[in-house]
Amino acid sequence: MWWKNRIAYQIYPRSFQDSNGDGIGDIPGIISRLDEIKELGVGIIWLSPVYKSPDADNGYDISDYCDINSKFGTMADMEKLFAEAAKRGIRIIMDLVINHTSDEHEWFQKSRDPASPYRDYYIWRPGKNGKLPNNWTGFFMDKAWEYDEKSGEYYLRLFDKKQPDLNYKNPKVIEEVKKILTFWLEKGASGFRCDVINIIYKTSLEDGKKSLSVQGIEHYKSQEGNHKILRELRRDVLDKYDCFTVGETVFVDLKEAKLLSDESRKELNMLFYFDHLEVDRRIAQFIPKKFRARKLLEVITKWQQGLEWNAIYFENHDQPRIVSHFGAAEKDSKYWKRSAKMLALFELTLRGTPFIYQGQEIGMTNFDFENLNELNDAMSHGLDKLMKKLCIPGFLRWNWIKASSRDNARTPMQWDESEYAGFSKAKPWLGVNGNYKKINYASQKKDPDSILNFYKAMAAVRKNSDCLIYGEFIPIYADNRLIIYQRRLKNKESQKDETYTIALNFSSRIVKIPGKFLSLFSGIPVISASGQKEFNGSLLPWDGVLVSNT
């Protein structure tokens, strides 16, 4: 299956490349950078939403699924993007955001009239004893219901008030989704990344259990009704095309994930889970806790071994930059570069389809904003309000928001040293990170020792090794700093095992490989983050090494 042996690249269009000087990235900008994407060794692009939208949640609030946001270009531009990508052997998957629409979508506007046939497209309820219809809270840290004067009732909205949830108990809504899928598949899409896809079906609207996190989620997370819809979409539309789906699945555990993605069940082809990025966070994913490499290996192992196929990712438009999160960018910046390479080696030696997020390939770091006013992210503002209510002091609130804000990943792509980092000729919609003169694509392209060139080298190593793509994942050892694992595959012709051993150092100290595992490293390193050609049993600070045992 083509989507198993390719590397995917996520584009967040408004921050990728501006072509018309309005400070917002656009589709012609993406087209102008397809060669750079191709050179990286990428075969799939996941395009974050480009549909018509009032942008209350940066395009994840769609007002017309079959039209393009004029800030990004036109449908003709989109068709050209499909064609130009195809010329380079790159397939495109679209972002399917169907838990909710924008409140400006025609369906919702009509639905505000209680007598309209569209009323049941959404979830409307009267208040209860002068209060909201139930005690649910949403994902943006506030209430889950919004009152509509015109209707005299509340509508459910698990995200922003401008993102009303669709009602999946109404078969007409499912028929509408089928039309959207067909529209994009016919245009040339090769699949979909499905936004919060395990929460679309609300089984009941009863009060939720008291929770500091998302209250009420037990009534709609990974429900049987949800599975049925996924099977129906697959059977009636997706299976008729050469395409795949990757689901974004919130708060999912391994058992639920298997039900959603085991091939025999014919639901999703793979999914994004969050566990591995939360090993150093507690409650509601924003309060930090100490990073331990051992814990990371434990979580990675659980998912690598537990699922038939993985979607592997370390970054996306909702997550902090990985080199700031698990790497050295903030802990010990002199190892910024090496740690970014070590993390590249890690991601590209895991089993599954890897997704690289724009800027990850040059080691872009978290933003350097100084206060909340500079942030655009609705979630950061919601979090600040909630923490204020809980009387959490200002400096702690800011520290936590700084580390977790979704804007960390949304600052403009750093292409070169010119003003606004070559992203745009005008002031961008969100500030460029001040480090763009040091961290940018153009300088790394020229430098053989750069993070960018390391990603390219790793992509080539992976491409030439079925073992690194499909092989079994075997954990070997971990402590607080060091991780060792192997990948192993039986070669069909020779019947011999092909094996690789990988060691990663998540610290600024030199770490010794424990004696009993030394023999696994007797081969010559295929590649290492530090560039060491020989391996003497010790890993340099933040180094990663890949050794072939075959």
Binding site for ligand NOJ (CB under 6 A): 57, 60, 97, 159, 195-196, 248, 317-318
Nearer to ligand NOJ, 145 or 336 (CB): 145
In the block, which residue shows the tokens 């006013």? 373
Element (H, E) at 236: helix 224-236
| Residue partners of 532: CB distance under 8 A and separation at least 6 | 525, 540, 543, 545
Shortest Cβ 14–ligand NOJ spacing (Å) = 12
User: How many Cβ atoms from other residues are within 10 Å of residue 63's Cβ?
Assistant: 22
The sheet with strand 124-125 has its strands ordered as 124-125, 153-156, 145-148
Query: Is 248 known to be catalytic?
Result: yes
Shortest Cβ 202–ligand NOJ spacing (Å) = 16
Query: Is 419 known to be catalytic?
Result: no
Shortest Cβ 409–ligand NOJ spacing (Å) = 10
Chain mean position to CA 508: 28
Strands (E), 358-494: 472-478, 482-490
- Please check whether residue 49 is in contact with residue 95, taking contact to mean a CB–CB distance below 8 angstroms: yes
d(CA 510, CA 338) in angstroms, rounded, equals: 13
Shortest Cβ 60–ligand NOJ spacing (Å) = 3
d(CA 425, CA 421) in angstroms, rounded, equals: 9
Nearer to ligand NOJ, 184 or 335 (CB): 184
Nearer to ligand NOJ, 48 or 435 (CB): 48
Which residue's beta carbon is nearest to the bound ligand NOJ? 60
d(CA 15, CA 29) in angstroms, rounded, equals: 10
Nearer to ligand NOJ, 72 or 159 (CB): 159
Shortest Cβ 138–ligand NOJ spacing (Å) = 10
Question: Could you say which of 55, 61, 153, 248 is catalytic?
Answer: 248
Three-state DSSP at 243 gives coil
d(CA 270, CA 191) in angstroms, rounded, equals: 12
Nearer to ligand NOJ, 93 or 504 (CB): 93
CA angle, 12 then 17 then 21, to 5°: 125
Q: List Cα–Cα distances, 28 to 20, 81, 84, 359, in angstroms.
A: 9, 8, 11, 19
Nearer to ligand NOJ, 319 or 349 (CB): 319
Question: Could you say which of 18, 165, 195, 377 is catalytic?
Answer: 195
Return the DSSP state at 324: H
Nearer to ligand NOJ, 92 or 196 (CB): 196
Structure tokens belonging to residue 429? 């919609």
* Closest C-alpha to 542, from 346, 349, 280, 368: 346
Shortest Cβ 108–ligand NOJ spacing (Å) = 15
Classify 545 in phi/psi space as left (phi over 0), alpha (psi -120 to 50) or beta. Answer: beta
Nearer to ligand NOJ, 10 or 435 (CB): 10
Shortest Cβ 11–ligand NOJ spacing (Å) = 13
DSSP secondary structure string, 293-310?
Answer: HHHHHHHHHHHHHHSSS-
Q: List Cα–Cα distances, 77 to 14, 45, 68, 70, in angstroms.
A: 15, 16, 9, 11
Shortest Cβ 248–ligand NOJ spacing (Å) = 6
> Catalytic site residues?
195, 248
